[in-house]
Amino acid sequence: MNPGLLLAFDDEQAQAAALAAALQIELALVERHRFPDGESRLRLPPKLPEQVLLLRGLHQPNHKLVELLIALPAARALGAAQILLVSPYLAYMRQDMAFTPGEAVSQRHIAALLGSLVDGLITVDPHLHRIQSLDEVMPGKRGVALSAAPLLGAWVAQQVPGALLLGPDEEALQWVAEAGRCHGLDFAVCHKQRLGDREVRVALPALPLAGRAVVLMDDVASTGRTLVEAALAALAAGASSVDVAVTHALFVGDALAQLRAAGVRQVWSSDAVPHETAVVPLAELIAGAVRAF
């Protein structure tokens, strides 16, 4: 795809500017106004080129999804014949099956909704565990799932040479394995038992941790409870240090403070989600995917 314009929302201007610079295309902003009753008024450029790249991360997703429901058809009406959505963090991907009768499978429904409004989607490390690709939940549309694991692995290898990459649960294996293999780092995963939204139990893998520098790696950190439990267990097992590297730094409430209180030394993330811990930029990774689309 050769977009003539990168369109982004005004609260993601820094990320948008980096991506526009990487692609060497013009950047325009969607201006937002929120009325006292919570409704939004959006203003786009009055005329758009035929091919448009739209950047919108979906952390804090509910009001952002509504804004996309308004902005995407508005962009069509203003001249965009082809729209490629870049959503570095794609929300609602974790509910990928009905765990109890009647539960909505939000992954399927949100992906299908977005697929009905765009011509393609690029995201980073979506939470896909029971499907092989986004194409399965976006019928007829192309979805590209990039991974920040090699970039996070490179950062870890530079900051903590010889670190053991430890996934806080089995689902993190794909990230720690990719990062470890790319940069010659050992890797393993813990076993997690989830008891509730904020209560988990973590069992360490059967390997010696005494004296080792451990870096916990995962795709997303929300409440941080799994990482906290894994950090406490690793330190109790004699790890010389514990750091954390994640793609998506949500860190709801006091999650980051809890990690530090548990003895975590450093917390690093990609800039898929704007956060104080973001040290790994993704603009070049995403730009390459746009060019190849």
> What are the tokens at 146?
């990039």
Q: What pLDDT score does 272 carry?
A: 96
> What are the tokens at 9?
């929302």
Residue 192 designated active-site: yes
Q: Do domains 5-147+281-292 and 149-271 have the same CATH topology?
A: yes
> Pairing state of beta strands 27-34 and 40-43?
antiparallel
Closest CA to 45 of 37, 58, 54: 54
User: 149-271 architecture in CATH?
Assistant: 3-Layer(aba) Sandwich (3.40)
Please, what is the end-to-end C-alpha distance for the chain in angstroms? Answer: 5
Q: Which one-letter DSSP state was computed for residue 254?
A: T
Closest CA to 243 of 212, 204, 214: 214
> What are the tokens at 164?
């053991």
* Residue ranges of E strands in the chain: 5-9, 27-34, 40-43, 51-55, 82-87, 120-124, 142-146, 164-167, 186-189, 191-196, 199-203, 213-221, 241-249, 267-270, 278-280
pLDDT below 50 — which residues of the chain?
A: none
Chain segment 159-176, per-residue pLDDT in tens: 999 999 999 888 888 889
CA distances from 8 to 48, 68, 189, 285 (A): 13, 11, 37, 18
Helix, strand, or coil (residue 167): strand
Whole-number Å distance between alpha carbons of 235 and 210: 9
Q: What pLDDT score does 141 carry?
A: 85
Whole-number Å distance between alpha carbons of 128 and 242: 27
Domains of the chain by residue range? 5-147+281-292, 149-271
Q: Which CATH code is given to the segment(s) 5-147+281-292?
A: 3.40.50.2020
Whole-number Å distance between alpha carbons of 187 and 149: 13
Q: What pLDDT score does 134 carry?
A: 79
Whole-number Å distance between alpha carbons of 194 and 275: 26
Give the count of beta carbons closer than 10 Å to the beta carbon of residue 78. 15
What is Dmax (Cα atoms) for the chain? 62
Give the count of beta carbons closer than 10 Å to the beta carbon of residue 49. 18
Closest CA to 202 of 166, 243, 174: 166
